[in-house]
Amino acid sequence: MYDVIVVGGGPGGSVAAKRCAQGGLKTLLLERKKLPRDKVCSGMVMGPWAQDIIQQEFGPIPREVLVDPHYLSGHMIHVPGVPPQVIACKTPLAWRKNLDFWMIQTAQQDGVEIWDGAKAMQVNQKAGACTVTMIQGKTTQELESKFVIGADGSASAVRKSLFPLLKVQYSVPMRECYDGALDLEKDYFHWFFPKYRPRPRFGLNHKGDCFLIEGSGIKELRNEIIQILAEYGFNPKSKAIWKDGCLIPRLHEALITGAFSPAQGNILLIGDAAGLLFPITFEGIGTALKSGILAADSVARSLKEGRAAAGIYLRELKPILKTIRRLHAWNKKLEQEATKGGAELSKALKAAYRETLKVA
């Protein structure tokens, strides 16, 4: 019998498990993939939540975890025919494989038991105990714990167990990685809006000796990407050295309206499993970390106060939901500004991205 089982070894899972173990709780973390595992992500540690929590909980990010140029100077917004808008904002840059492995190893040093290659299939709760059915290799086991923290990302099995009727729509971002460099500032993340609308968009950034084109719109924008990037030296005949993709759950409306509350009894969802990515940038490392801390602290309070963790956690989550509501409202404003022309859209995008990136 564990005190806490954390499902998922991303940033949210690592920080939640670490904090539970530090509080003296017997904590097991299950990670579906073999570690170290990669994650489709730009790898920017964006905004004060991500940066401050990593510093406080894990310490300074080791240099070997970062990838060249180590720190971005900020973001650039490109709307055709309008000079690029620059948002200065120092941002650590990493491959998620390295960042997440460092965090999970730090959690292990603090007493978290970690099983990798261990996939949670189903989670239940009955009088005073949770059960997690998981499969590792060919072995299926049923584990027991007092609490479960679902940190298992966008297609969360814990969320599906708790809310089997919840209908989730997903966007499908893709990444393409190319050898070499383009004639664009390497220390900036570049956001392109070729259709004079907030969406579809694509992103471009350099990492080490390669560059990545990414976003949910890259299939739809293929011609625009070739045309725009040719200006910066992109050879349309070049082939990506690798490609991948993933899902992003679109749960903002359900969270804002309260149609979806990401916890029940002693099972709490955090990070992408709870749909807590920020609107606009769709950054989610900071919200995964922040909600991971809130979940771990709600477990500690639940044990002390003898009441279910969900009520405590959902209350603590309110400031995050308030922020999501505020940032979500930008989507409508951006669509309105887009109808006024490229310059207005570009200005509004800068304001929206600035507000998202500075969220504390």
Is residue 153 a contact point for ligand FAD (CB under 6 A)? Answer: yes
Is residue 271 a contact point for ligand FAD (CB under 6 A)? Answer: yes
Is residue 228 a contact point for ligand FAD (CB under 6 A)? Answer: no
Is residue 283 a contact point for ligand FAD (CB under 6 A)? Answer: yes
As a residue count, the chain comes to 360
Nearest to 235 by CA among 175, 174, 179: 179
**Burial of 138: CB neighbours in 10 Å, binned 0-12, 13-18, 19+:** exposed
Q: Residue 164 and residue 203: Cα distance in Å, rounded? A: 34
The correct pick among 57, 272, 297, 337 for binding ligand FAD (CB under 6 A) is 272
The correct pick among 2, 11, 204, 213 for binding ligand FAD (CB under 6 A) is 11
Is residue 157 a contact point for ligand FAD (CB under 6 A)? Answer: yes
Is residue 33 a contact point for ligand FAD (CB under 6 A)? Answer: yes
Contacts (CB under 6 A) with ligand FAD, residues 102-131: 119-120
Count CB-CB contacts under 10 A for residue 27: 29
Is residue 277 a contact point for ligand FAD (CB under 6 A)? Answer: yes
Is residue 46 a contact point for ligand FAD (CB under 6 A)? Answer: yes
Is residue 7 a contact point for ligand FAD (CB under 6 A)? Answer: yes
The correct pick among 4, 12, 74, 94 for binding ligand FAD (CB under 6 A) is 12
What CA dihedral angle connects 107, 110, 113 and 119, to 10 degrees?
-10
Q: Could you give the count of Cα atoms lying within 13 Å of 165 in the half-sphere of its Cβ?
A: 2
Is residue 288 a contact point for ligand FAD (CB under 6 A)? Answer: yes
**Burial of 140: CB neighbours in 10 Å, binned 0-12, 13-18, 19+:** exposed
CB of 239 to ligand FAD, least distance (A): 20
Q: Residue 307 and residue 299: Cα distance in Å, rounded? A: 10
CB of 30 to ligand FAD, least distance (A): 5
Is residue 199 a contact point for ligand FAD (CB under 6 A)? Answer: no
Q: Residue 125 and residue 202: Cα distance in Å, rounded? A: 42
Is residue 92 a contact point for ligand FAD (CB under 6 A)? Answer: no
238-240-99 Cα angle (round to 5): 140
Alpha helices, H only, the chain: 11-22, 47-58, 96-109, 157-162, 222-230, 252-257, 285-305, 309-316, 318-338, 342-357
**Sheet strands (E) in 230-279:** 242-245, 248-250, 263-264, 267-269
- Residue with token string 């963790």: 309
Q: Which is nearer to ligand FAD, 119 or 197 (CB)?
A: 119
Contacts (CB under 6 A) with ligand FAD, residues 128-147: none
CB of 116 to ligand FAD, least distance (A): 9
Q: Residue 195 and residue 132: Cα distance in Å, rounded? A: 46
CB of 33 to ligand FAD, least distance (A): 5
Is residue 41 a contact point for ligand FAD (CB under 6 A)? Answer: yes
> Closest-CB residue for ligand FAD?
284
The correct pick among 3, 17, 42, 356 for binding ligand FAD (CB under 6 A) is 42
**Burial of 117: CB neighbours in 10 Å, binned 0-12, 13-18, 19+:** middle
Is residue 150 a contact point for ligand FAD (CB under 6 A)? Answer: no
The correct pick among 13, 92, 249, 275 for binding ligand FAD (CB under 6 A) is 13
Q: Which is nearer to ligand FAD, 204 or 312 (CB)?
A: 204
Which residues make up the interface to ligand FAD (CB under 6 A)? 7-13, 30-33, 37, 39-44, 46, 50, 119-120, 151-153, 157, 173, 175, 214, 246, 248, 271-273, 277, 282-286, 288
